[in-house]
Structure 1
Amino acid sequence: MTHPTPSHADISSTPDISPTHWADLLAVAEMAIEQAGNIIRPLFRSALVTEEKKDLSPVTLADQGAEQAIRRCLTHYFPHYGLIGEEQGTLATESRFYWVVDPLDGTRAFITGRPTFGTLIALLDHGTPILGIINQPMTNERWIGIKGQPTRFSSPFGGQAKTRACSKIDEAELSCTSPEMLELAPTPFWPKLAKRVKRVSWGGDCYGYGLLSLGLIDLVAECDMKIWDWAALVPIIEGAGGYITDWAGQPLSHNSNGTVLAAGAKNLHEEAVSILSHSG
């Protein structure tokens, strides 16, 4: 890969990103993802020391080291871009373009030895996600979403990033990371949705959204989601033919209430919005 220079990679004054700039953006984002994976892999299923953050969620050396590596890479090649990281704070988000990073989405899965976590990198343009990557470093699976383009998926197991057209909610597979997150739901209607679908599975974090993009899950409905949890998912789900909004069907943004609803088919998404808002 030819490493772009900051002056070549800087697109802050370019209304429409050229193919060359896209290549540079993606090359640097994947470089950062690889560096994070090099830190995460040796620590998987090791005797990690786990600390608790102020919100009581766990954090490990893998989270911290992976974010440091990503930040170094992104800020080196794109020094004028902003950056939001889950573990180490915010840089200059008044910029038109800024990165959003979750170095280890699914820390609970990671510390319990389950390969259903992932590293997330997104690039936002005026707050709209235009590039998103999910990387699972243990299974060597990667999803890449670019706004307006089909989602790319690479895996040693095969598969194609294309949602399935499940048209009946009673045939749908619904996923959510944990029952505990639903204690913070702004409406009480998640159980009603769960009763309507064929089956509910728990766990998965960002990996569940990756599976939805592959047509293996039909719905994901969660809450208490921060921008680093959902930003990378938007172009991936949409590029695979799916829909992702808040529970009211509104686009996700900095002002969202923490709810996220992803669906593989439009009518399924509309019916789930209706149920979660108790209008159906």
Structure 2
Amino acid sequence: MGLKSSDQKQIEQTVGRMISAGRDIALAYFRQPDQGLANKLSDGFDPVTQADKEIELAFREILKAERPMDGILGEEFPPVASQSGYTWVLDPIDGTRGFISGTPTWGMLIALSDAQGPIWGAIDQPYTGETFMGGLGRAELRRAGQTTPLATRQTTTLADAILFTTFPEVGTANERAAFQRVSSVAKLTRYGMDCYAYGLLAAGQVDLVIEAGLNAYDIQAPIAVVEAAGGIVTNWKGGPAHAGGTVVAAANSDIYAQAIALLNQ
């Protein structure tokens, strides 16, 4: 489904307002003693803060006013059916564990998708003031009033690659073993970056992000950004990743092929 240039302009303006509103809320709570912290799980720990809820509500109010025919799939509140063929996929704070720990590695995720998956996305980090954007023919980083193009790097050998994942305990036991096969070959493995890792991949700083157990709202914005910057994002079997589950995001086809082969060994 194609977007007219007027639609693209409206979408970017709408997203700009969403990012501005979300940043104000996020920074009002970040590194503050009272974040309205709650745990979603009775057995385990899956945190949610007041900022998560307020940001998503702010996003939804803007979309209701400016894109009322579009659907919404968000982490914190029930979905809204699409009447236009387009759906906004929202994660108000991806990396809530990082948010409550005071690390600037969380972000707000905003994606616009059609029936085939994400066509545009943004990874916004309010504390550093960075927005990684991709889709609609562009991939760029906006920070401090400057816009620079995003492009993944061209490392060709896995032994020279930098690999990211969020948790050392990736997925199931079998998934952890598969991840370790890749990690044991990569030059460097780092942990705990959440969505910010995908921004670094799109910016040409790292080569791979491999994760498991994701939801659609965790990955659709990163898919749009990474692919627009020249990278590849699929599930571990090489299929579409926009519904979540396992994800491998690679800077280029060489690194991707080597990672996929080890994951499926």
TM value normalised by structure 1 = 0.88
Aligned to 1:122, which of 111, 117, 133?
111
Post-superposition Cα deviations, 1:161-196, rounded to whole Å, max 9, x if no partner, equal 111100010000000011234337657311111001
1:244 is aligned to: 233
2:139 is aligned to: 151
1:36 pairs with 2:14: no
Letter in structure 2 aligned against 1:155: R
Question: How many Å separate the matches in 2 of 1:99 and 1:161?
Answer: 23
1:262 is aligned to: 249
**TM-fit CA distance, 1:253:** 3.6
Question: How many Å separate the matches in 2 of 1:187 and 1:111?
Answer: 26
1:204 pairs with 2:204: no
CA 1:111–1:154 in 2, change beyond 3 Å: closer, same or farther?
Answer: same
2:93 is aligned to: 104
2:131 is aligned to: 142
Query: Contact 2:226/2:249 (CA < 8 Å) preserved in 1?
Result: yes
Question: How many Å separate the matches in 2 of 1:68 and 1:244?
Answer: 29
1:217 is aligned to: 206
- Partner of 1:192: helix, strand, or coil? helix
CA 1:184–1:96 in 2, change beyond 3 Å: closer, same or farther?
Answer: farther
Q: Which structure has the highest strand share of the two? A: 2
Query: Contact 1:185/1:259 (CA < 8 Å) preserved in 2?
Result: no
**TM-fit CA distance, 1:62:** 0.8
1:190 is aligned to: 179
TM value normalised by structure 2 = 0.93
Post-superposition Cα deviations, 1:22-56, rounded to whole Å, max 9, x if no partner, equal 00011101211110111011111001231011373
Moved more, 51-60 or 97-106: 51-60
Question: How many Å separate the matches in 2 of 1:16 and 1:62?
Answer: 34
Structure 2, gaps ≥5 residues long: none
Corresponding residue pairs, total: 261
Aligned residues: CA RMSD: 1.8
- Partner of 2:6: helix, strand, or coil? helix
2:12 is aligned to: 26
- Partner of 1:69: helix, strand, or coil? helix
1:76 pairs with 2:65: yes
CA 1:160–1:185 in 2, change beyond 3 Å: closer, same or farther?
Answer: farther
Query: Contact 1:184/1:224 (CA < 8 Å) preserved in 2?
Result: no
Letter in structure 2 aligned against 1:275: L
